[in-house]
Amino acid sequence: MELHRRNVLGLGGLAALATALTPALSGCSSTLPEADVTAAGFGEDATGTVRLWCRAATVVGVRQVVDAFNASQDEVTVEVTPVLDGQYVTKLATAIRGGNVPDIVDIDDINSMLFIYRDSFTDLTPLVEQLDFADRLNPGQLGLATRDGRNYGVPYIADNSALFYNTELFERAGLDPVEHTRDLPGMLEAARAIGALGDGTYGWSIDGNAAGILGFVVQPHIWAADAPNVVGEVGEQRGSMADNDAVRRTFEFYRTMWAEKLLPQANFSGDGARWGADFRDGTVGMFPSNFSVAVLNASEEMQAKTGVVLLPGPDGGRATFAGGDNLCIPRGAPNASGAWRFARFALDLPQQQNLPAGGYIPVRSDAATPEYREKYPLAVAPLDGIEGAYAPTTLAYNLLFNQQDSPWIAAFRRAVFDGDLDGALTQGQKDFDRILEQAQL
């Protein structure tokens, strides 16, 4: 199976990023001039070349929009430079220190804050306020480009987690998939009923040895309960693990499924290399993942018997990981006006509504028109539940969640596979606090 950006989450592709983060960013605070985004004609009268850096994992989708933009006019030409995901932060920090920056960057939204808190990106607030759809932008992603009420980027493509389910297995088990995916007890009941069908079926599947995947699909259960596990403002943050009832109950939910063999044995060592293969084969009832892995890579037959809802909390509510990319304009960008002209084009509905063809979700809730819903029915849930899109604003995300020896995966595995829930939460609290204390500005 081709490895898309979403699979890289599970392979720990960002682990190298975490270890290199401090030296790469330590001297990248920008002293480069900031473009006057309020100047007359900014983003409208632009000409020339725009240099765009994008993550190598998203280059296909980016080029699709760039080609459309270049074909739509002849005043501005966008040139794309793909950068390997594991090298992105280091290369961008080096460019900022050297004063030779691209005009615009397509950056993982989780990493936007690393540069925003070092004054490296242009304040785009006046431009964002002028967008007549600003209130329809994905709030979780926009939040990852916002500091002190100022916007230093805009969401571009969304990569949201959700709960995909096999309607055929639910029907065979005599269950209503909507009713039985409202909370953890309902899903446990459904997992037991589907597992009891036999024929090698399982109620649930998750790659339990993939740090990025566990951060992507497990955390929304606790966010749906309005109980984040990272609390406080950047610079004064702490973990919320030991006394977090939503974390405890979520881990208990997974522990019960593992103990009752409702999860495939392969989940213990699953590292993301075959993420979702069992669900796409039709043997799994419920699968927390994203559109690309669960739907885009599936057969038409499997797509026809797939349903989707956002991930529920222990007692209800819904949430989704606000993953994806933001577009940001570095301070010192030679053609900031042309960069914004491209960004504005990328946010227009025709470009946004075509994103599912490449495995992504639009960042605008108003993209879910009747035509869109008919064409991409399994890419609607994150838009209808866009207010539930969230990801923690922290400078330590990669260290806390994506690195393969991160405290989140350690706590999950200790609680779920070893059965030591109390020890997992106690140690998790200590490790979260230690990392957050070290990740000061």
Q: How confident is the model at residue 376 (pLDDT cuts 50, 70, 90)?
A: very high
- Euclidean distance between CA atoms 282 and 94, whole angstroms: 47
- Euclidean distance between CA atoms 268 and 277, whole angstroms: 15
304 close to 375: Cβ distance less than 8 angstroms = no
Tokens of 418: 């070893």
**From residue 378, how far is each of 116, 162, 382 by CA, in Å?**
34, 10, 9
Average pLDDT over residues 349-372: 96
- Euclidean distance between CA atoms 262 and 265, whole angstroms: 9
Q: Using only the alpha carbons of the chain, give its radius of gyration.
A: 21
Tokens of 305: 């018997």
What is the tens place of the pLDDT at every residue in 284-318?
Answer: 999 999 999 999 999 999 999 999 999 999 999 99
- Pair 111, 192 in one domain: no
What is the tens place of the pLDDT at every residue in 54-77?
Answer: 999 888 889 989 999 999 999 999
What is the three-class DSSP state of 227? coil
- Pair 375, 296 in one domain: no
Q: Residue 359: which domain range?
A: 5-160+322-390
- Euclidean distance between CA atoms 428 and 414, whole angstroms: 10
Q: Which residues contact 198 (CB under 8 A, 6 or more apart)?
A: none
Number of domains in the chain: 2
- Euclidean distance between CA atoms 369 and 138, whole angstroms: 16
CATH of the domain at 129: 3.40.190.10
What is the tens place of the pLDDT at every residue in 145-198?
Answer: 999 999 999 999 999 999 999 999 999 999 999 999 999 999 999 999 999 999
Tokens of 419: 């059965």
Indicate the pTM of the whole model. Answer: 0.92
What is the tens place of the pLDDT at every residue in 66-122?
Answer: 999 999 999 999 999 999 988 999 999 999 999 999 999 999 999 999 999 999 999
What is the three-class DSSP state of 392? coil
What mean pLDDT, rounded, does the chain reach? 92
- Pair 145, 261 in one domain: no
- Pair 115, 210 in one domain: no
402 phi/psi in degrees, rounded to 5 = -85, -30
The alpha carbon of 361 is separated from its chain's Cα centroid by a whole number of angstroms, namely: 11
User: Other C-beta atoms within 10 Å of 65: how many?
Assistant: 27
pLDDT given at position 27: 54
The angle subtended at Cα 113 by Cα 92 and Cα 64, nearest 5°, is 60
Tokens of 83: 């950068």
Q: How confident is the model at residue 8 (pLDDT cuts 50, 70, 90)?
A: very low
- Euclidean distance between CA atoms 407 and 384, whole angstroms: 32
- Pair 102, 210 in one domain: no
pLDDT given at position 25: 55
pLDDT given at position 133: 97
pLDDT given at position 58: 86
Average pLDDT over residues 24-45: 81
108 phi/psi in degrees, rounded to 5 = -50, 125
pLDDT at 3 over 60: no
What is the three-class DSSP state of 418? coil
pLDDT given at position 24: 53
pLDDT at 15 over 80: no
Q: How confident is the model at residue 30 (pLDDT cuts 50, 70, 90)?
A: low
Enumerate the H helices of 277-380 as residue ranges.
277-280, 291, 300-304, 336-346, 349-352, 370-375
- Pair 142, 228 in one domain: no
Q: Which residues contact 62 (CB under 8 A, 6 or more apart)?
A: 52, 54, 80, 106
- Pair 227, 288 in one domain: yes
Average pLDDT over residues 237-263: 98
- Pair 300, 327 in one domain: no
- Judged by phi (left if over 0) then psi (alpha if -120 to 50, else beta), residue 226 lies in left
- Pair 111, 74 in one domain: yes
Tokens of 321: 């990981």
Crossing angle between the packed helical segments 407-416 and 245-259, to the nearest 10 degrees: 50
What is the tens place of the pLDDT at every residue in 326-342?
Answer: 999 999 999 999 999 99
pLDDT given at position 29: 56
- Euclidean distance between CA atoms 220 and 6, whole angstroms: 16
- Pair 315, 329 in one domain: no
Last residue of some domain: 390, 405, 426? 390
pLDDT given at position 22: 47
**From residue 80, how far is each of 4, 54, 59, 77, 147 by CA, in Å?**
19, 7, 8, 10, 28
30 close to 118: Cβ distance less than 8 angstroms = yes
Q: Which residues contact 257 (CB under 8 A, 6 or more apart)?
A: 188, 191, 203, 204, 263
% pLDDT > 90, the chain: 89
- Pair 228, 336 in one domain: no
pLDDT at 432 over 80: yes
**Residue 99 burial (C-beta neighbours within 10 Å; 0-12, 13-18, 19+):** exposed
- Pair 333, 399 in one domain: no
pLDDT at 50 over 60: yes
Tokens of 57: 């994992």
Q: Which helix (H) or strand (E) holds 147?
A: strand 146-147
